[in-house]
Amino acid sequence: MVTTSIKQMVRSNVGVIDRAIYSDPDIYAQELEQVFGRSWLYVAHTSQLSKPNDFMANYMGEDPVLVTKDAKGKLHTFLNMCRHRGNRICRADFGNAPSFMCTYHGWTFSTDGKLVGVPGYKEAYFEELDRTQWGLVEARTDSYKGLVFANWDKEAPGLLEFLGDAVWYLDIWLDRRENRTEVLGGMHRWVMPFNWKFGVDNFGGDTYHTMVSHGSMSLAGFSQGQRQPISTDKSRFQVAIGNGHCFIGGVDPELQKQPQGSTFNKETAQYIRDINEEQTARLGKVRGAHAMGVGSLFPNFSWIAAPFVRNWHPRGISKTEMWSWCIVDKDAPQEIKNAMRVELTQRFGPSASMEQDDANNWMGSTETSRSLTGKKYPLNMQMGLGRQWTSEIHPAKALNIPWSDTNWLHFYEHWAKMMDAPSWSQIQLDPIKHRQ
C-alpha cells in the first residue's frame, strides 16, 4: 500500500503529475485493487451473447473473466477460475456451451456459475463436499444499450451512476440507429511495453499529438483528420464529461452543418452524413450534430470514430495488452461494415499505421518514468489550464478547445480520487446533469 496521498502526485490545479504513477510497482498494485477492483469495466457486447449459453472471455484488470448468458437468458460475469486448484475453467475466447469442465481434475460449472459436476463425489468425497459453497466467483453485471460491464465491488454505485453523463454522449454512437449496434468480426490483441494509462489518456484528450505523431499520414495523403491547425476556435471542443470519462469531438450545433468525427475513409464519412437525419430524429438537434469522435470511459475502455474500440488491459506497471475491434451500427450496409473493418486493420492494430506512431511515444514516456534521473522530473499538463468553460447544451463538467490538457487532468483527478479513497462511501461522483 502506498502511503503518500496520490492526490499530491496529481497536482491538477497546476498541471503537474509525478511520474511515479507510471512506474511505481506499489502504485500499480494499488490501482489493480482500487481502480480495477472497484470500477465498472467493459467486458462484452450483448450481440456476442445473443443465445442462451453463449460466453465470451475477457479480463477485469489482470483477472481473467468469463461473461455468460445462462440457460434462462441472464447475463453473468465470473472469474475464469476453477474453485478446486484454480485452473481456468475455459480456454476458448468465445462460444456456446451449457457447462465448463476444468481440464485439470474435471470439476464442472454451469453457465449460471453452479458447481454441477465433481468426479469422485461419492467415492472420494463421500458426498460430504458442499457443492453450493464452491460455485464460480461472480462479479456484478449490467449493460447499457449493448455494452456489458462488470464490477467486483458490492459497494460500488450502479452502472448508470458510474457512467453519469457519459451516456448522453454514448447514445450518439449506441442509439443513433433503430437497431443499435453489434460487434463486427473478431479482434486484434497484442502486448506493448508501456503503462496502460498512456493509452487511455491519449484517446481521452490528446488532439495535440495528431499533427506531429500522425503528420506523415497527412503528408502521404492517408488521412484528412490530422491536418487541422491549432486554433482558438471554440466551435469544436473536447469534453471532460465527469467521473473521469472523456470525449474529444464536441461541436456547436449552430455552427456545424454536418456531424464531425474522426472518420477517415470517404465511404464511412459519407455514411455518417447519410444517417444524420435518422440520428437527429432519434437524439435531437444537438446530438444530431455530433459524430462520436475519440474518447475514453474510465478506466480502460476507449473508442475512436466509434466503431473502433479497445480495452487497455494492464499487464504489469510497464506492460499493456490491447484488445481492438469494431462495434458498428447493425443497420449499416454490409459494404460500410466491410469498409470499417478494413479501416480498423489499416489504422489501429498491431501492424497498423497510426498504432505504430503512437506506441513508440508511449514506450518512450514509460521508459523515462522508470529511469533514475527521468523519474525525478514531473510531467507537464498545463495546456489550457484555467481556460475551461461549461455549456448549456453539453452536460459535461468542463469543455475546452481541442488542444488542451483538460481531459487528461480530469481523468487523473478521478483516478487519484479512487486511489486515495479506502471505500466507495468516500468517493463522490460528479452530479448527473442529464437524466434520461
Contacts to ligand FES by CB under 6 A: 82, 84-85, 87, 102, 104-107
What burial class does residue 50 get, using C-beta atoms within 10 Å of its C-beta: 0-12 exposed, 13-18 middle, 19+ buried? exposed
Strands, sheet with 108-110, edge to edge from the N-terminal-most edge strand: 99-101, 108-110, 115-117
- Which of 323, 312, 217, 417 lies closest to 430, judged by CA? 417
Q: Mind giving me the DSSP string for 126-190? A: TT-S-GGGSS--EEEEEEETTEEEEES-TTSPPHHHHHTTHHHHHHHHHSSSTT-EEEEEEEEEE
Contact 203, 295 (CB under 8 A): yes
Three-state DSSP state, 405? coil
Q: Is 82 or 289 the residue whose CB approaches ligand FES more closely?
A: 82
Determine the distance from the C-alpha atom of residue 8 to the mean position of all C-alpha atoms in its chain, rounded to a whole number. 26
C-alpha distance from residue 5 to each of 17, 26, 316 (Å) = 13, 13, 21
Residue 358 touches which of Fe ion, ligand FES, none (CB < 5 to 8 A by kind)? Fe ion
Q: For the CB of residue 115, give the shortest distance to ligand FES in the complex, in Å.
A: 10
Residue 104 touches which of Fe ion, ligand FES, none (CB < 5 to 8 A by kind)? ligand FES
Q: For the CB of residue 363, give the shortest distance to ligand FES in the complex, in Å.
A: 37
Q: Is 102 or 269 the residue whose CB approaches ligand FES more closely?
A: 102
Q: For the CB of residue 130, give the shortest distance to ligand FES in the complex, in Å.
A: 16
Q: For the CB of residue 135, give the shortest distance to ligand FES in the complex, in Å.
A: 13
Q: Is 25 or 120 the residue whose CB approaches ligand FES more closely?
A: 120
Contact 305, 264 (CB under 8 A): yes
Q: Is 203 or 415 the residue whose CB approaches Fe ion more closely?
A: 203
Query: Roughly what angle, to the nearest 10 degrees, separates helices 266-274 and 276-283?
Result: 40
Residue 87 touches which of ligand FES, Fe ion, none (CB < 5 to 8 A by kind)? ligand FES
Residue 85 touches which of Fe ion, ligand FES, none (CB < 5 to 8 A by kind)? ligand FES
- Which of 206, 306, 201, 314 lies closest to 263, judged by CA? 306
Residue 42 touches which of Fe ion, ligand FES, none (CB < 5 to 8 A by kind)? none
Q: For the CB of residue 197, give the shortest distance to Fe ion in the complex, in Å.
A: 15
- Which of 279, 271, 249 lies closest to 338, judged by CA? 271
Q: For the CB of residue 89, give the shortest distance to ligand FES in the complex, in Å.
A: 7
Q: For the CB of residue 19, give the shortest distance to Fe ion in the complex, in Å.
A: 21
Q: For the CB of residue 417, give the shortest distance to ligand FES in the complex, in Å.
A: 39
Query: Roughly what angle, to the nearest 10 degrees, separates helices 166-174 and 276-283?
Result: 140
Residue 377 touches which of Fe ion, ligand FES, none (CB < 5 to 8 A by kind)? none
| The three three-digit cell numbers of residue 249, written as one number | 469531438
Cα 292 to Cα 170: distance, rounded to the nearest angstrom: 8
Residue 84 touches which of Fe ion, ligand FES, none (CB < 5 to 8 A by kind)? ligand FES
Q: Is 348 or 412 the residue whose CB approaches Fe ion more closely?
A: 348
Q: Is 105 or 376 the residue whose CB approaches ligand FES more closely?
A: 105
What does the per-residue mask of binding to Fe ion show for 125-164, with x meaning CB under 5 A? ----------------------------------------
Q: Is 358 or 420 the residue whose CB approaches Fe ion more closely?
A: 358
Q: Is 358 one of the binding residues for Fe ion (CB under 5 A)?
A: yes
Q: For the CB of residue 97, give the shortest distance to ligand FES in the complex, in Å.
A: 16
Q: Is 70 or 358 the residue whose CB approaches Fe ion more closely?
A: 358
C-alpha distance from residue 158 to each of 73, 76, 77, 141, 153 (Å) = 21, 15, 15, 10, 10
Q: Is 217 or 241 the residue whose CB approaches Fe ion more closely?
A: 217
What does the per-residue mask of binding to Fe ion show for 314-353, with x meaning CB under 5 A? ----------------------------------------
Question: Which residue ranges make up the site for Fe ion (CB under 5 A)?
Answer: 358
